[in-house]
A and B are shown apart, each in its own frame.
Chain A
Amino acid sequence: QSVLTQPPSVSGAPGQRVTISCTGSSSDIGAGYDVHWYQQLPGTAPKLLIYGNSHRPSGVPDRFSGSKSGTSASLAITGLQADDEADYYCQSYDSSLINSLFGGGTKLTVL
């Protein structure tokens, strides 16, 4: 059972903007730990998309952005494209459990 809560699915039409939320608690996101986001295309390993709440690794388009506030974080994708269709996961750290946490994942469908 994931401690970080994400919506199971989101959808949007090409060109539109979608957001994916990630809700934690006072022992993880709310404790000040960073949130990171991953994109997992079908049949492949997850790929780091956003790190440190809002930073993009080299090669990630600026259509992808992240933010964090309080015990939650969000991933925004603008200008939706067909190849953005994937599963997206947030990740943070729990100081009470002393371990990394993943959200349950959100399936993005491009209509």
Chain B
Amino acid sequence: QVQLQESGPGLVKPSQTLSLTCTVSGDSISSGGYYWSWIRQHPGKGLEWIGYMFYNGITYYNPSLKSRVIISVDTSKNQFSLRLSSVSAADTAVYYCARVVQRDGPFDYWGQGTLVIVSS
């Protein structure tokens, strides 16, 4: 059974960088065949795709966030990470990591989500 688990600070100060890690179990990121993604949900709002990454490091980002986002992988730890720079209150959201078979495919496995609040 594939499982994903987000981890990272729940509180980030404005203008700083939000950093989250997703630990994958039950599947190997380096085996290829999947894209590994970050998605967020603002409080009481809908889902927003942030970006995804293939195991070899190729990344695709939401154009609206592209200038501030970096998704990276650590295959030795079977983890992938999100870094979002210059955060503001508008980045307060629940952040999910998820697996997708192909770029236009469904997100078949999700983490439970982690709430990140941006506040001083």
- Taken together as a complex, chains A and B put the C-alpha atoms of A45 and B112 apart, in Å, by 5
- Taken together as a complex, chains A and B put the C-alpha atoms of A36 and B100 apart, in Å, by 12
Task: Check if B106 is an interface residue, CB within 8 A of chain A.
Answer: yes
Of B47, B49, B108, B112, which one neighbours A99 at CB under 8 angstroms? B49
Chain A contacts of B48 at CB under 8 A?
Answer: 102
Q: How many residues of A contact B (CB 8 A)?
A: 26
Main SS of the interface on chain B? strand
**B16-36: which residues lie under 8 A (CB-CB) from chain A?**
none
CB-based contact A92/B104 at 8 Å? yes
- Taken together as a complex, chains A and B put the C-alpha atoms of A89 and B48 apart, in Å, by 11
Chain B contacts of A48 at CB under 8 A?
Answer: 106-108
CB-based contact A91/B113 at 8 Å? no
CB-based contact A51/B108 at 8 Å? yes
Task: Check if B43 is an interface residue, CB within 8 A of chain A.
Answer: no
Interface centre among B96, B103, B112 (most CB of A within 10 A): B103
CB-based contact B110/A51 at 8 Å? no
CB-based contact A99/B105 at 8 Å? no
CB-based contact A45/B103 at 8 Å? no
Given A51-B105, A105-B46, A99-B110 contact (CB < 8 Å): no
Of A47, A93, A98, A102, which one neighbours B47 at CB under 8 angstroms? A102
Q: How many residues of B contact A (CB 8 A)?
A: 25
Question: What sequence of 0s and 1s flags, for each residue 85-104 of chain A, a beta carbon within 8 Å of any chain B beta carbon?
Answer: 00001011100011111111
CB distance from B20 to the nearest CB of A (A): 15
Residue of B nearest to A45 (CB): B110
Query: Could you tell me which B residues sit within 8 Å of A by CB distance?
Result: 37, 39, 45-49, 51-52, 60-63, 96, 100, 103-108, 110-113
Query: Could you tell me which A residues sit within 8 Å of B by CB distance?
Result: 2, 33-34, 36, 38, 44-48, 51-52, 57, 89, 91-93, 97-105
29 A-B pairs with CB atoms under 8 Å apart are: A2-B46, A36-B107, A38-B107, A45-B110, A45-B111, A46-B47, A46-B107, A46-B110, A48-B106, A48-B108, A51-B105, A51-B106, A52-B106, A89-B47, A91-B106, A91-B107, A93-B103, A99-B61, A99-B62, A100-B49, A100-B100, A100-B103, A100-B104, A101-B49, A102-B47, A103-B46, A104-B46, A105-B45, A105-B47
